[in-house]
Amino acid sequence: MYIWLHRAYAGALNANVWLRQRAYLFMLSRRRHRLAHADLSYLNLQGIDLRGADLRHANLHHADLRHARLAGADLSGADLSLADMTEGQLDEVRSLAGATLPDGTVVGDDA
């Protein structure tokens, strides 16, 4: 009996966390034009739609950006150190001037 209750509780808890994460990602994608200087470090942002987002000087340290849509996003001055993302995603952004890339290198201001 206790094992069944534990499994039911764990399942409900997982569903609650999943729903809350989806709601948070939806809210972030709706505010994408007002995310400059935002602290998004350590967040799971997989699959979020941030096309054309204003992420200037945002803290994305160690964020999980796999499958995130970043085409046209302004990441100038952003901290992307240890962020989980691909080179293809970096190629699609509008600006990386002054940004710290996932490998720790800093992009020059002329990029």
pLDDT digits (tens, 9 = 90+) for 26-77: 777 777 778 899 999 998 899 889 999 999 999 999 999 999 999 999 999 9
- CATH topology for 2-92 is Pectate Lyase C-like (2.160.20)
pTM flag (> 0.85)? no
Kindly list the distances between the CA atom of residue 80 and the CA atoms of 9, 26, 83, 95, 103, in Å, as whole numbers in the listed order.
36, 21, 5, 13, 8
- Asked if 89 contacts 111 with a C-beta cutoff of 8 angstroms, the reply is no
The domain ranges of the chain are: 2-92
pLDDT digits (tens, 9 = 90+) for 73-110: 999 999 999 999 999 999 999 999 999 999 999 998 76
